[in-house]
């Protein structure tokens, strides 16, 4: 028994010594935000009357009978999402035209009034069941702007919105994300609405505490300031929201794109972009579907800049994702897999200029729970020595963001036989930074974190030769 206790205490001491000291550097992400950061990429589905009228913004006075998909198949959406490597699907349960993809008791403009499945269908239900079956998560977009609802523009609409939100958040299982866009135009009465976002937000968290809520200013996730799918090369997960609101009162788009270096709250950016020019399906745009390469480029500029990618893939009038789009998605997955299949640093000999040399192997173990912490706040040098010369054009860096975002400036240098030369100078890292540079042939790569807000804590460093760029 005594030997046993001795062994346990020895093991504990070894484990403690193996981990560098952990001092969080706030603001910090919540548990839900951390889970969100691991998702990286998920699909957006814009679907509704606009799909059938060829519009982007329905007026709200469309006849509900226009909504009539001939072969709606939410399982096909979920299967394609999963195969593409997306971690979930966010559905436009209600877009600006006010049409509800579920039979809401609080509207007369819903699937119930359509011809689809003789008014007995429910797209939200079908998708939530499909996502559960296939094993991906689901999120929901409920447009606050409503061009159909008769009470829009009056205080009563806030109660209606809350009731519709309650229906969605209490009948279809758990959602991972609630999505609010910033558009606020006039309703059918020609009036704009004063939204009671505080009440919406508090209620949503009460019904589904595990949610992350997206909007221009969070509270959980922020808009990235453009709809082209790219985040700033400098991208802080931090944002100051005091004095700002959603929509026209949002922070400047470059602030949303880059965050605030000393921002008060952890509100990371999500890049929303469509695989086609429009958000809804238009047959004329079949020829304009983004290529796998273009999608990979978006991935580099969103996930590779430390945020998440929300990629819109709108189903066509049959109610299925069009073959053109799914082919592009599969090509995109193949490029990603090939690009990051072989980490050239896994067997590298790693050295640093710090006192923390014992746990350097944590940098290359691809374990999301382990990390390496420097003992220097400024000028941390890491050298990765390969057993032989290799060609590479990319380095992937990850911070242990659970303890805060720290790195401000870093450089990547390669050894050419005589000296090191710089191939990349970057700013923030955050959850993930995919650095791409001209192809190099080398056996030594030096990474220097020249400036940091606190001692750098890295969970991973990897090196790749990406052939499809
Ligand atoms: C915007 C909307 O106005 C667009 O129609 C689309 O839904 C996009 C994702 O958000 O605010």
User: What digits encode the pLDDT tens for the residues 246-296?
Assistant: 999 999 999 999 999 999 999 999 999 999 999 999 999 999 999 999 999
Of 339, 368, 397, which marks where a domain is finished? 339
Tell how far CA 374 is from the center of its chain: 28
- pLDDT class of 16 with cuts at 50, 70, 90: very low
Atom of ligand 1 nearest to the CA of 92: 7
Q: Are residue 274 and residue 376 in the same domain, yes or no?
A: no
* Cα 377 to middle of ligand 1, angstroms: 42
What pLDDT score was predicted for residue 132? 98
Atom of ligand 1 nearest to the CA of 57: 5
Q: Are residue 181 and residue 137 in the same domain, yes or no?
A: yes
What pLDDT score was predicted for residue 354? 93
The mean pLDDT value of the chain amounts to 95
Count structural domains, the chain: 2
What pLDDT score was predicted for residue 312? 98
Of 282, 315, 339, which marks where a domain is finished? 339
Q: Are residue 235 and residue 305 in the same domain, yes or no?
A: yes
Range(s) of the domain holding residue 448: 349-464
Q: Are residue 328 and residue 368 in the same domain, yes or no?
A: no
Instruction: Give dist(CA 188, CA 467) in Å, integer.
Output: 53
Query: Which residues are registered as beta bridge partners of 177?
Result: 212
Which whole number is the average pLDDT over 53-58?
98
- CA dist list (Å): 160 to 121, 164, 257, 269: 22, 6, 33, 29
Q: Are residue 115 and residue 198 in the same domain, yes or no?
A: yes
What pLDDT score was predicted for residue 125? 98
Between 11-15, 161-165, 279-283, 343-347, the lowest mean confidence (pLDDT) is in 11-15
Atom of ligand 1 nearest to the CA of 272: 9
Phi-psi region of 389 (alpha: psi -120 to 50; beta: other; left: phi over 0): beta
Residues with CB under 6 Å of ligand 1 are: 56, 181, 183, 272, 279
For the chain, percent of residues with pLDDT exceeding 70: 96
Hey, which of 183, 223, 225 would you mutate to test ligand 1's pocket, going by the most ligand atoms within 8 Å of its Cβ? Answer: 183
Q: Are residue 108 and residue 193 in the same domain, yes or no?
A: yes
Atom of ligand 1 nearest to the CA of 95: 7
Q: Are residue 223 and residue 169 in the same domain, yes or no?
A: yes
- CA dist list (Å): 328 to 27, 104, 138: 38, 35, 22
* Cα 181 to middle of ligand 1, angstroms: 6
In a domain, 23, yes or no: no
Neighbour tally for 171: CB within 10 Å: 12
Q: How far apart are the first and last CA of the chain?
A: 60
* Cα 328 to middle of ligand 1, angstroms: 22
In a domain, 333, yes or no: yes
In a domain, 332, yes or no: yes
pTM of the model: 0.95
Compute φ and ψ for 334, nearest 5 degrees: -60, -40
Q: Are residue 273 and residue 219 in the same domain, yes or no?
A: yes
In a domain, 254, yes or no: yes
Atom of ligand 1 nearest to the CA of 46: 7
Atom of ligand 1 nearest to the CA of 145: 3
* Cα 110 to middle of ligand 1, angstroms: 19
Q: Are residue 113 and residue 250 in the same domain, yes or no?
A: yes
Q: Are residue 251 and residue 196 in the same domain, yes or no?
A: yes
What pLDDT score was predicted for residue 355? 85
Q: What's the DSSP call for residue 37?
A: H
Q: Which of 307, 278, 292, 264 is nearest to 430 (CA)?
A: 307
pLDDT above 80 (res 328): yes
Contacts of 258 (CB under 8 A, 6+ apart): 232, 234, 235, 236
* Cα 223 to middle of ligand 1, angstroms: 11
Q: In this structure, which residue's CA is closest to atom 4 in ligand 1?
A: 279
- CA dist list (Å): 295 to 12, 57, 157, 317, 431: 46, 25, 39, 24, 20
CB-CB contact of 342 with 393 (8 Å): no
In a domain, 25, yes or no: no
CATH of the domain at 426: 2.60.120.260
CATH of the domain at 138: 3.20.20.80
Q: Are residue 310 and residue 365 in the same domain, yes or no?
A: no
In a domain, 232, yes or no: yes
pLDDT above 80 (res 320): yes
Of 339, 361, 377, which marks where a domain is finished? 339
Which whole number is the average pLDDT over 356-375?
94
What pLDDT score was predicted for residue 3? 59
- pLDDT class of 87 with cuts at 50, 70, 90: very high
In a domain, 15, yes or no: no
Query: Which residues are registered as beta bridge partners of 424?
Result: 412
Q: Are residue 317 and residue 409 in the same domain, yes or no?
A: no
User: What digits encode the pLDDT tens for the residues 211-225?
Assistant: 999 999 999 999 999
Hey, which of 227, 229, 247, 248 would you mutate to test ligand 1's pocket, going by the most ligand atoms within 8 Å of its Cβ? Answer: 227
Which whole number is the average pLDDT over 12-41?
81
In a domain, 3, yes or no: no
* Cα 106 to middle of ligand 1, angstroms: 23
């Amino acid at each position: 028994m005594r030997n046993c206790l001795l062994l346990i205490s020895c093991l504990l001491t070894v484990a403690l010594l193996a981990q560098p000291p952990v001092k969080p550097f706030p603001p910090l992400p919540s548990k839900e935000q951390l889970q969100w950061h691991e998702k990286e990429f998920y699909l957006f589905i814009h679907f509704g009357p606009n799909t059938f009228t060829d519009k982007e913004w329905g007026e709200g006075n469309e006849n509900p009978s226009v909504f009539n998909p001939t072969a709606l198949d939410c399982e096909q959406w979920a299967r394609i999402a999963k195969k593409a490597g997306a971690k979930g699907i966010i559905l436009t349960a209600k877009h600006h035209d006010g049409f509800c993809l579920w039979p809401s008791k609080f509207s007369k403009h819903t699937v119930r009034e359509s011809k689809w499945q003789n008014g007995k269908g429910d797209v939200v239900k079908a998708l939530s069941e499909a996502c559960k079956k296939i094993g991906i998560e689901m999120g929901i977009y409920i447009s606050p702007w409503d061009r159909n609802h008769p009470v829009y523009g009056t205080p009563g609409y806030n109660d209606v919105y809350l009731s519709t939100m309650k229906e969605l958040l209490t009948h279809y299982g758990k959602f991972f994300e609630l999505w609010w866009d910033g558009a606020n135009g006039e309703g059918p009465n020609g009036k704009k609405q004063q939204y009671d976002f505080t009440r919406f937000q508090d209620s949503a968290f009460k019904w589904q505490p595990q949610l992350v809520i997206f909007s221009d200013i969070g509270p959980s996730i922020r808009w990235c300031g453009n709809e082209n799918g790219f985040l700033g090369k400098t991208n802080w997960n931090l944002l100051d929201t005091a004095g700002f609101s959603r929509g026209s009162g949002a922070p400047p788009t470059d602030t949303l794109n880059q965050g605030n270096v000393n921002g008060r709250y952890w509100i990371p950016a999500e890049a929303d972009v469509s695989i086609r020019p429009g958000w809804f399906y238009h047959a004329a745009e079949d020829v304009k579907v983004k290529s796998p390469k273009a999608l990979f480029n978006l991935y580099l500029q969103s996930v590779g800049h430390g945020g998440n990618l929300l990629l819109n893939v709108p189903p066509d009038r049959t109610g299925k994702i069009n073959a053109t789009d799914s082919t592009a998605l599969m090509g995109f997955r193949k490029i990603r897999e090939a690009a990051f299949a072989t980490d050239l640093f896994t067997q590298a000999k790693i050295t640093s200029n710090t006192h923390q040399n014992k746990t350097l192997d944590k940098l290359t173990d691809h374990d999301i729970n382990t990390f390496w912490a420097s003992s220097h706040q400024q000028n941390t040098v890491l050298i990765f020595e390969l057993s032989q010369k290799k060609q590479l054009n990319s380095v992937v860096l990850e911070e242990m963001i659970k303890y805060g975002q720290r790195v401000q400036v870093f450089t990547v240098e390669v050894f050419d036989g005589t000296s090191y030369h710089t191939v990349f100078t970057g700013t923030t890292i955050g959850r993930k930074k995919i650095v791409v540079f001209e192809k190099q042939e080398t056996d030594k790569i030096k990474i220097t974190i020249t400036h940091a807000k606190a001692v750098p804590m890295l969970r991973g460093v990897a090196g790749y030769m990406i052939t499809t760029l």
